[in-house]
A and B are shown apart, each in its own frame.
Chain A
Amino acid sequence: MTIPLDYNAMPDDAFRRELRAWIEANYPEEKRSPPRRLVYAEIEDWFQALSKKGWLAPGWPVEHGGMGLGPSKYVIYVEEMERHGCARLPDHAIQMVGPLLINYGDAAQKAKYLPRILAGEDIWCQGYSEPNAGSDLASLRTEAVRDGDDYVVNGQKIWTTLAHSANWIFMLVRTDKAAVRPQRGISFLLAPLTAKGVTVRPITNLKGDQDFCEVFFDNVRVPVANLVGKENEGWAMAKALLGYERIFLGTPRLPGYSLNRLRLLCEELGAFEDTAVLDQFTQHRLDVRDLTSAFEGYIEHIRNGGEVGPDVSFLKIWATEVNQRITDTMIEVAGDLGGFREDIAVGNAEVDVMSEFLRARTSTIYGGSNEIQRGVIAKNVLGLPT
């Protein structure tokens, strides 16, 4: 047995070089920067390569099969994956279920689920949002009622990303309807999507893709052994799972990608001859440039052992709204082709104008809508009254 490397002890540059070389040698070229979320079957080869290398779970402790990276090395990991255009994996289990079980699960749960996650045998999805519990997540009503050694689950989850390619769901359920505050009656439950009474229905989004789903629970029996942590303490665990990784909601990568597409479009159309277009483009460039400076400044702060505070929301707001403005300009510059559904052919290139425009709509909604993020800044940074 080989002793796992202590990556945290490596110099940053060496760690970065090693990651980069291996990614370049192993990432499937045709899957760089895919235009939509890929399901497991489409990215299995890369998933398995990472798994065999032991690099699938950068943040998990080494004893659970992760890389055990601290924040500064974790940041480099993400930067290198993004730099190469690696597709985002179906990573709910790696990002959420792993940390949840490692922090709050019992020994049997860790032994049962963690190895299967790393092997790609189980694909997990996240059951949080409900039709009437979106931004106000604590009002969720999917109910788990104790009956012997089982919970009986009834209700509905929605916007469940990639549920149609998953076989497990980790979900927040209501276990106490009489709790004084709605947050106090919520528990974390793990449920197989293969159980009797579960129905998964994919939802077609504005782009025409099926990234997210509805999941219905009709008298689904889930063993009590699948409860994580204590009953009615799920909310606090869910909040604690929002770690420093949320800084990546504000990555300059998304607007950076759109900006490159806009540049290609402008070049092929000769649109930079138009001073108004060039001015607009420069504004976008500077918006992305200053975002990058702010983002890197924040990353440095984390690298130096700093905390991620509620102010981090400003990166997400700016990144996603800059991204939308860039795609607005793409539609405008495309002129009469701005209504075309498929990629448009201009000069020697094909540009995904509509696809980028539509994709950018989701970014201001997911991960806590930008309205919620503004509320976080107002209350938790500026100290304004609730």
Chain B
Amino acid sequence: MAAYGTVDCGLASLATNPPEHLTMLEESADALLTRHGDVGRVRAYRGKRPGFDRDVWREIAEAGWLGVLVPERDGGIGLGHLELCVLAERLGAALAPEPYVSVTALAISVISAADNAEARERLLPEALTGKLVPALAWRPDNGSDVTLDRAANALTGRKSLVSPVAGADGFLVSANTPDGMAAFWVPRDADGLSVETDLLADGSFSGRLSFAGAPAGEPLFRDSASAGKAFEQAVERARLAASAEMLGVMKQAFDMTRDYLQQRTQFGRPLAGFQTIQHRLADLFIQHRLACASVLEAIRTMEGGAEARVAAAAVSAAKARSSDAGLKIVREAIQLHGAIGYTDEYDIGLFLKRALVLSAWLGNAKFHRRRFAMLDPVV
């Protein structure tokens, strides 16, 4: 683990009193991911289903990462948000195409919280071992949401912005019922479900689901309140973890750019020797440090048992900062690379595209600044 304050430090190095296992977690994550290739690995999956490597997914599952927040008695490894974020950060730095944050923070969080024990015990082990890739479908599509036809116990309506989608084996779907919100598990090949995909900038997919009388099965939660709470918690976790993933993306893009500028010679000296370049790199370093601080603050707040509103405000602050900082760094990274940065062949562009997707996902910076102001109003 890098020493505090050095150029190499990330979340684990900057965390206050980090647990001893954090270094090991960080190192084993880097080792697992680099074993399968460098950041260019993502190219092979762009626009292709399922969009990631099932073997890598299995290894991630074997390492226990999918159950990082799941209690040990339920088959997880029972760690906290700091560990979730360090893992997300390492996946971000590797530009891993595997949908770790969405599956772990969104889908598995909800499955793990389900109070329908039969459904939980059926789905959770499958999900934790990587055999089943679940996705959370919680966003209505243009105002049209999914509703439960109680008589037929079937779902009708649409969901959007579902992730993962191309490699998902089924969906945890929120639906309106006369008693409020309920959640159901719908396998991908269920009758009455059609899945469409939209290609994202980084080559991954976003999903639109149409339900036309798809069988709903048993609800995962006994009442609307517990379902709502589980979904909210999952979304906050995912926003936090996505912010951490962005930390990895921005830091790796920054490091690549710094290395490039030290090697690239013009006018008889390395570009990194020019003060105009040095000051811009210093500004990008500052952005990364601020984003780390903001994410660590959100982790502390989530871990510290703060009331939901306070935790949500901290998460919004982190998502806003990491989105802004990430986009700033990758934009500057392209400019500082010059023409080579605009080629598809050179890796730096992969960071730009991942950052664009991550910053827009689950609310961009502007959305989260306004949400912060709403959750923690000045007057």
Question: Which residues of A line the B interface, CB within 8 A?
Answer: 263, 266-267, 272, 278-279, 281-283, 285-286, 289-291, 293-294, 297, 300-301, 304, 306, 309-312, 314, 317-318, 371, 373-375, 377-379, 381-386
Contact = CB atoms under 8 A, between A and B. Distances in A.
Interface string B359-374: 0000000100110110
B262 A309 contact: no
Interface residues of B, number: 41
B378 interface: yes
Contacts of A282: 369-370, 372-373
Interface stretch (B111-119, B207-215, B272-280): B272-280
Interface in B259-280: 261-262, 269-270, 272-273, 275, 277-279
B293 A309 contact: no
Contacts of B370: 279, 282
Interface stretch (B3-11, B148-156, B180-188, B234-242): B3-11
B296 A293 contact: yes
Nearest first, the 9 closest Cβ-Cβ pairs linking A and B are A378-B278, A294-B293, A311-B5, A293-B297, A374-B282, A377-B282, A293-B293, A309-B5, A385-B273
A377 B290 contact: no
Contacts of B137: none
B369 A378 contact: no
Contact of B281 (A294, A318, A384): A384
A311 B278 contact: no
A263 B378 contact: yes
A14 to B, nearest CB: 21
Nearest to A299: B16
B320 interface: yes
Contact of B6 (A283, A304, A311, A371): A311
A314 B378 contact: no
Interface in B277-336: 277-279, 281-283, 285-286, 289-294, 296-297, 317, 320-321
Interface string B41-79: 000000000000000000000000000000000000000
Contacts of B296: 293, 297
A312 B273 CA distance: 22
A378 B270 CA distance: 14
B34 to A, nearest CB: 23
B24 interface: no
Give the one of A304, A318, A385 with max B CB within 10 A: A385
A324 B198 CA distance: 43
**Residue with the highest number of chain A CB atoms closer than 10 Å, among B5, B272, B281, B320:** B5
A377 B7 CA distance: 9
B7 A304 contact: no
Given A312-B5, A374-B279, A317 B286 contact: yes
A378 B279 CA distance: 7
B285 A272 contact: no
B14 A385 contact: no
B378 A272 contact: yes
B285 A293 contact: no
A377 B293 contact: no
A311 B289 contact: yes
16 contacts: A281-B378, A285-B372, A285-B378, A289-B294, A290-B290, A297-B16, A300-B17, A314-B286, A374-B278, A375-B282, A382-B7, A382-B258, A382-B282, A385-B269, A385-B272, A386-B273
B293 A381 contact: no
Nearest to B373: A282
Contacts of B317: 286, 289-290
Interface in B69-101: none
A304 B366 CA distance: 36
